[in-house]
Amino acid sequence: MTNIYKIHNELIVHDPTHDQLTLLQNIDPGFRVESIRPGSGFVPRFQDLRRQRITLDRPAFDFDIPELLSAIEQSDKSVHCHECDPDKIHEYSALGILFVIACKRLIDCTLCGRQCNINRYEKAGQCGLTTTPFNIDPFIHIAEEAPINPAFVISYSGCGMGCVSCIERALYKSSDYLKTDHKAFWERYARLKQEHDINTVEFSNLTESVHSVLDILSAAPMDMNLPIVANVHLYSGKPLYEIALRFVDVWLVDFRYGNDECAKRLSGIDNYMEYARLGMDQIKGFGSRSIVRILVLPNHLDCCLKPIVDILSEYKDRIWVSILGQYIPEHNAHRFEDINRRPTVEEIRALEEYSRKRGLRLVDSVHADRFWE
Cis peptide, bond prior to residue 150, ω within 30 of zero: yes
The percent of residues above 90 in pLDDT, for the chain, comes to: 76
The Cβ of residue 123 has, within 10 Å, a number of other Cβ atoms equal to 8
Separation between Cα atoms, residue 293 and residue 322, nearest integer Å: 5
Separation between Cα atoms, residue 263 and residue 303, nearest integer Å: 11
pLDDT in tens, 143-158: 999 999 999 999 999 8
Band of residue 86 on the pLDDT scale cut at 50, 70, 90: low
pLDDT, position 168: 80
pLDDT, position 311: 98
pLDDT, position 24: 86
C-alpha distances in Å from residue 76, one per residue of 93, 136, 178, 220, 316: 10, 38, 38, 22, 36
Whether residue 119 contacts residue 89, with contact meaning beta carbons closer than 8 Å, is answered with no
Q: Where are the domains of the chain?
A: 3-43+127-370
Superfamily of domain 3-43+127-370: Aldolase class I (3.20.20.70)
Q: What is the pTM of this model?
A: 0.94
Closest of 136, 133, 57 to residue 102, by C-alpha: 133
In three-state secondary structure terms, 239 is helix
Residues 67-87, mean pLDDT to the nearest whole number: 68
In three-state secondary structure terms, 154 is strand
pLDDT, position 175: 58
pLDDT in tens, 262-320: 999 999 999 999 999 999 999 986 678 999 999 999 999 999 999 999 999 999 989 99
